Structure 1
């Protein structure tokens, strides 16, 4: 069992706070999700989360014009300079102050950041040379009297304009210019959100929070009566050629700027939250606090488009380099939208769960993941693309458990609203709802392998309800527990049902037998979760004292125990009076699962760690830290004395009343709400996992965490994992054998090196006529599993469909007997092949349906044209035809 799982993706959260950014080619959007950055590929319909993490939640990001360097700054002003394509951190720097905005100059040589009421411009560090002090401060600019909000560069990178809470904007030059003093743009009556240069740099637009847009252009002529106004250098006659060249070179700096027009959005009861400008098309895009955004063509201020996209304020807006796509982020809803304004259609519309995720389940083929959250919604995520493609909003309270049926396309969900629902995964609809005779809250769920019976455990009546999926009728009510039923699981054969409860017991029920008598298996503490092993011979149960108990099903006794409290301990809350090392009492597992062959157990819970144990040895194999975000509770290891005040830790003090906007200072939460955390306004969220599951292939696992849906997988590209090496086994010799047409030898050498790119080169060079012979000659052990795993990857990521299918058919035919004998060892590989073939079948079916529809449409148009032509010919003869 390999344990080298690495972080692959973060789903379930698409936007938290900060600004969204387009890549230079306009094909992808970068969105901050907590202390990470997710990249959404709009063309290939995929998402990925960069592997680096900031210390705290990200406040601002910026991408260099060439798309190579990403600057990510957290709430405390600590910044990471990241190689964007590789996702690796190059340099660290702390600006020691909150940064509202960061921006690269158009030539990529400088980085401008807001630093309180100042602006700092730094030279961009080199990504090619390792330097001791990579960040070099170019200049620091002063002049504003309050916090600077934004920075906007001119296209020549010689000037930049800043906006501030002091209701002004200021124009600065990158380098000193003779006779230039920073220009101030005053007249607004509220915070200036943004200021922008026109494409020709002859006009400047400033937008304030109260909905005013000022158009600034050059003043022409000076009043002779106004003796206080000095004549500008631009208007003054120049006596030398060098002076004329200086004026022409720095026209923006020497221009006497004045207000040409004042425009107002006239949106009642709303304020401007964010704004951006596209110079080439002269489009001003503005987002309002009521969820409305609008496009205006400047400088005429012609309204092009206005649309309401949400009920909450739009936190960030960005425009693609071509000006076709607009990206919006709404922090309160966790929503990310990409809108094509010309066709008025969504390119991307994603939203995570409103608050925490409670549960997850992999589909049988491992392609999709279902999640249930505190907001009462059930979402389906594609494990490969990372996108949510279906949302079921039928539940009216928190979803406690979701489970896919092993047979058929059905998803079952249980909720605290007292219902269990069944969803059709073909038509995506709720086709069955199961309820109890008296209203109860369901906290656990189990589906038998055949998919005919569904069971749910209650939280208040301590009973287990059984329904028939076909008829929807209640079959039986199992009683015996004296506390909430927190876990249910059917055995792989479907003959037994195991239930875990807070009454410190595990019960085994023979659901299809006549007798309902059960002998409880007593645990050391309250049970929190349980799982059946794949062979059905044992049950793993987690308890509140941090133990994992393994129960023999036949004997009904605990045969081994793993003490996991110290393994999962780590991290302290802000208000804890103990250190992380001495605070293990509150750490326990609330979710356990076996891998595909039952050799390992994965467990997660009230901690920042997820742990993998070896089942036979009972030892910890590896420990994963789900988050390093210090904005969450439970991630800090040591106490920081600098953050202690007389009123307690500074992070525990409620600072909602210090928010700059009135809307953010108001407490709009209602008592008795059925969704979300009622104390969300006052308490920090805690780093933890509520559910962990292995995929059916065993190549990946997922966990519902505070940050979102974390997916870890076995990444062969980043791990050099060869076997049976010798001195002659090199990539050069492997390719030499390929040139000599020694296909079998070169393939075995590549499999020994276990480098995917090298295997791909050799694999695609093998002639189709040689496939049958090579399949028979390929050794079974080690090579067959590795080769099938590679073909599975190749099938999902390349267009060589027929070539892959021929290989699969030939390998299964040649080695079928060995595969059947070693089915436990090959189970994850075979499941991966089934998943790939199922995805391929779905794609081909969809394409065939589209082609059939197109052909039918074309034929119908031809028939229609023939009828029209025939009718026209008859009418020319004077014969009337009824069409």
Structure 2
């Protein structure tokens, strides 16, 4: 089994804190997610997360106007410069201070950084210089503000920029010394200035303050009464032009304060977000309100607008919301929200295309692996959802909750069709489902019994007694013959629930059992216990075959209050969750640690350790602690300095004493790193882990790394294209596989005629079969040539079927990917056919409107139908009932 899994995507969280950035084309949105950055492609309905990770949570991000360089800065001022197109980190830099705003100039030559009260302007790294040793060159430092700078705004010609500060003023600066220009201070606001903006002609300025005031500034001379007042003074100054307030407007939102604002110069749109979750859209300079809408119950932390001015993006950190709103049509382009609380469990769908997550907030979310978006959310549970399981047949999901109910969900109609409850009120913590989908079993920490229900009738079938402690984990064998349960009474029991006598075979452990799992073939059990051991037992003999001591492997990362090193600390030295790989050769385990460990089942050896996070904002991720942060009052990071805040709403303490889980904005302790659940994909090409930061996806498929296979010096892109031009298809395909560049393989693959597919596959060396199957399965998800892909699958399976069958263990993951691909094509075609049938039925049943449509309707009538039937359709475009809407015959997605 391959073990080179790499981080692929981050789901379950769409926004944490910081600012949002649209790409120059306005089709994608960048959002900070913890210590990573995610990109949401709004046009193609996809998302991805950059592979690089900061040491702490990302505070500010900025994208160059050309869309090539991404600059992200964390809470401590450490920046990472990334090639946005190739998603490759280029350079690390430290601004040595907390960054409050970061903006590129419109021409892309400079970028401005607000570090507290000072402003720094840096030159943008250039690609023209080869191997720059120090790509960050400081242009100039600007000082003058007496408090934190909130916002930076560049002029359209990149010669001037504005700064809005917490000291109630705004300032105008010039990038380079300009003749006749003097840095100007704009005062008059009574609260902190959120932002100051240029108009399109740069003759007008707009400043927005926290108290809801909007000032309009123009470069004019004094008014008449001001001139008379100046003439009366002995030290009168001659009348001169300067920036003056010509108009004052107010939002009038009651007690709500302004949290964020943005201005679009081309369309003169001012967008303002308030602390009440309301945003307003105004047309400047007349201050005409276009509309006001409530999108959240919490503060709107940031708002931005794309270059065309059509889409508005809003972010709310307290609820983890990310919204993209098209204000002209008043419709949502994107509406995503992560879990409000910690994720407890996850499970893949049988086809491997989706992941279901459950959390303490009582919500169940369905995530699409391909797009990275949440498809639907179920909110019927009234308390935390602790476990979930999928039936092997059909799209039926089962969930267990602390509200005392087991619910069954239909993932075709997206509804809850069955609810199971126990005779007494219990809080269920574990769940499993019979492979046939007929019996559902659940265990509780309150009772020591295992409850069984019939899925068809919803009736309680039986209660299995035998455990002397709470039941922590349940699992069914793949053939449904046995049920295994793990308990805190130091035993694992194997139940034969379908036999005449329900006999349980107890397997004695050394400590509390936390999780159990069946091997896919049903012949072996893996169990992890509180002492950090992973035990493997044979089901037939009820004998322990091997065990692994994982205390050293899982230990790592010190809590902020630990007085001992991670190696000597007793906390977190055990695994809480375990699962087998798709082929049953490996097990994946995780616990209250920053490591996920992959073990080989046969030898018990450690294959690989995956680090979940390096985010120092989460407790338990760093190996060594700095002694200067340990004071007499405890760790300096846990000392509450909120009472010293200048704003009243920041001084009010609404936190929960001692809470380490729940809403991050109302905690008095830092969140701790933990892995609550792990699961392998049915294809075996990826696995998912539910952690403190969200749902992490690790995959073997990464096309952004150069991984050649048996490469020779004469294999180049030019030689491959030359071979393809000479119609030497087999040689060109083998050369492209050896170079392993996706675009070259794609070009050669689609250039092979359909008539030559069988000949090419017949002569293809078997060493390339794995790469060919993997490539076709991946490319079929984004290519419209469905029949062409099926011809390749048919040729490979018919010509090399015996070899693949004999090497089932080697090609297991590839064959599962092929199965997933074929099932996906079948489902998509069936949906498309049903939609076209319904459209045809509607068109054929439309009432007759004119004689002109009779002759044209005959083409659509079914064979043997009567011409006198009222099935005519008017096809001319003169009527509002025009039948030219032939878009109904195509897929709604444009396929």
Q: CA deviation at 1:855?
A: 4.8
Question: Structure 2 vs 1, CA of residues 293 and 105 (structure 1 numbering), >3 Å: closer, same or farther?
Answer: same
Provide the rounded CA distance (Å) in 2 between the counterparts of 1:186 and 1:49. Answer: 42
Match of residue 780, structure 2, among 781, 789, 795 = 795
Partner of 2:12: 12
Match of residue 826, structure 2, among 831, 835, 841 = 841
Match of residue 282, structure 1, among 268, 292, 308 = 268
Q: CA deviation at 1:483?
A: 1.8
Q: Is the 8 A contact 1:671 1:678 kept in 2?
A: no
Q: Is the 8 A contact 2:398 2:409 kept in 1?
A: yes
Q: CA deviation at 1:776?
A: 3.5
Q: CA deviation at 1:123?
A: 1.5
2:633 is the counterpart of 1:632: no
2:36 is the counterpart of 1:36: yes
Provide the rounded CA distance (Å) in 1 between the counterparts of 2:652 and 2:127. Answer: 45
Question: Structure 2 vs 1, CA of residues 366 and 37 (structure 1 numbering), >3 Å: closer, same or farther?
Answer: same
Match of residue 246, structure 2, among 260, 263, 271 = 260
Partner of 2:795: 810
Question: Structure 2 vs 1, CA of residues 675 and 746 (structure 1 numbering), >3 Å: closer, same or farther?
Answer: closer
Provide the rounded CA distance (Å) in 1 between the counterparts of 2:719 and 2:750. Answer: 18
Partner of 1:133: 134
Partner of 2:210: 209
Query: How does 1:245-256 map onto structure 2 within 5 Å?
Result: 256=242
Q: Is the 8 A contact 2:658 2:668 kept in 1?
A: no
Q: CA deviation at 1:849?
A: 4.4
Question: Structure 2 vs 1, CA of residues 679 and 170 (structure 1 numbering), >3 Å: closer, same or farther?
Answer: closer
Partner of 1:244: none
Provide the rounded CA distance (Å) in 2 between the counterparts of 1:699 and 1:124. Answer: 39
Partner of 1:152: 153
Question: Structure 2 vs 1, CA of residues 371 and 80 (structure 1 numbering), >3 Å: closer, same or farther?
Answer: same
What per-residue deviation string (whole Å, max 9, x for no partner) do you get for residues 135-170 of structure 1? 222222122111111111111111111111111111
With normalisation by structure 2, the TM-score equals 0.91
Query: How does 1:459-478 map onto structure 2 within 5 Å?
Result: 459-478=445-464
Q: Is the 8 A contact 2:474 2:485 kept in 1?
A: yes
Query: How does 1:36-185 map onto structure 2 within 5 Å?
Result: 36-128=36-128, 129-185=130-186
Question: Structure 2 vs 1, CA of residues 169 and 719 (structure 1 numbering), >3 Å: closer, same or farther?
Answer: closer
What per-residue deviation string (whole Å, max 9, x for no partner) do you get for residues 23-51 of structure 1? 11000000000010000000000000011
2:572 is the counterpart of 1:586: yes
Question: Structure 2 vs 1, CA of residues 226 and 852 (structure 1 numbering), >3 Å: closer, same or farther?
Answer: farther
Partner of 2:886: none
Partner of 1:607: 593
Query: How does 1:459-608 map onto structure 2 within 5 Å?
Result: 459-583=445-569, 585-608=571-594
Provide the rounded CA distance (Å) in 1 between the counterparts of 2:837 and 2:650. Answer: 53
Q: Which has the higher contact order (CA 8 A, sep 6+)?
A: 1
Partner of 2:21: 21
Question: Structure 2 vs 1, CA of residues 731 and 124 (structure 1 numbering), >3 Å: closer, same or farther?
Answer: closer
Q: CA deviation at 1:665?
A: 3.7
Question: Structure 2 vs 1, CA of residues 680 and 442 (structure 1 numbering), >3 Å: closer, same or farther?
Answer: farther
The range that moved more, 839-848 or 433-442, is 839-848
2:671 is the counterpart of 1:702: no
Partner of 2:885: none
Partner of 1:786: 771
Q: CA deviation at 1:843?
A: 3.1
Partner of 1:239: none
Note the aligned Cα RMSD (angstroms).
2.4
Match of residue 322, structure 1, among 295, 301, 308 = 308
For the residue of structure 2 that corresponds to 1:131, the secondary structure is: coil
What per-residue deviation string (whole Å, max 9, x for no partner) do you get for residues 318-351 of structure 1? 1010000000000000000000000000000000
Q: CA deviation at 1:583?
A: 2.5
Provide the rounded CA distance (Å) in 2 between the counterparts of 1:675 and 1:99. Answer: 28
Structure 2 unaligned runs (5+)? Answer: 855-869, 871-895
Question: Structure 2 vs 1, CA of residues 509 and 114 (structure 1 numbering), >3 Å: closer, same or farther?
Answer: same
Partner of 2:804: 819
Q: Is the 8 A contact 1:380 1:389 kept in 2?
A: yes
Provide the rounded CA distance (Å) in 1 between the counterparts of 2:665 and 2:262. Answer: 35
Match of residue 743, structure 1, among 729, 737, 754 = 729
Q: Is the 8 A contact 2:70 2:83 kept in 1?
A: yes
Partner of 1:226: 230
With normalisation by structure 1, the TM-score equals 0.92
Q: Is the 8 A contact 2:364 2:378 kept in 1?
A: yes
Provide the rounded CA distance (Å) in 2 between the counterparts of 1:798 and 1:704. Answer: 31
For the residue of structure 1 that corresponds to 2:412, the secondary structure is: coil
Question: Structure 2 vs 1, CA of residues 677 and 63 (structure 1 numbering), >3 Å: closer, same or farther?
Answer: closer
For the residue of structure 2 that corresponds to 1:520, the secondary structure is: strand
Q: CA deviation at 1:859?
A: 5.5
Q: CA deviation at 1:801?
A: 1.3
Q: Is the 8 A contact 2:658 2:669 kept in 1?
A: no
The range that moved more, 212-221 or 844-853, is 844-853
Q: Is the 8 A contact 1:375 1:675 kept in 2?
A: no
Structure 1 unaligned runs (5+)? Answer: 236-254, 871-883
Query: How does 1:728-739 map onto structure 2 within 5 Å?
Result: 733-739=719-725
Question: Structure 2 vs 1, CA of residues 725 and 673 (structure 1 numbering), >3 Å: closer, same or farther?
Answer: closer
Q: Is the 8 A contact 1:669 1:678 kept in 2?
A: no
Match of residue 769, structure 1, among 743, 751, 755 = 755
Partner of 1:3: 3
Q: Is the 8 A contact 1:90 1:127 kept in 2?
A: no
The range that moved more, 586-595 or 42-51, is 586-595
Provide the rounded CA distance (Å) in 2 between the counterparts of 1:674 and 1:577. Answer: 19
Partner of 1:621: 607
2:389 is the counterpart of 1:388: no
Provide the rounded CA distance (Å) in 2 between the counterparts of 1:461 and 1:319. Answer: 54
Q: CA deviation at 1:643?
A: 2.1
Q: CA deviation at 1:660?
A: 4.7
Partner of 2:277: 291
The range that moved more, 296-305 or 669-678, is 669-678
Aligned residues: 848
Q: Is the 8 A contact 1:197 1:205 kept in 2?
A: yes
Question: Structure 2 vs 1, CA of residues 726 and 43 (structure 1 numbering), >3 Å: closer, same or farther?
Answer: closer
Q: Is the 8 A contact 1:374 1:675 kept in 2?
A: no
The range that moved more, 548-557 or 385-394, is 548-557
What per-residue deviation string (whole Å, max 9, x for no partner) do you get for residues 30-77 of structure 1? 000001000000000000001111110111111111111111111112
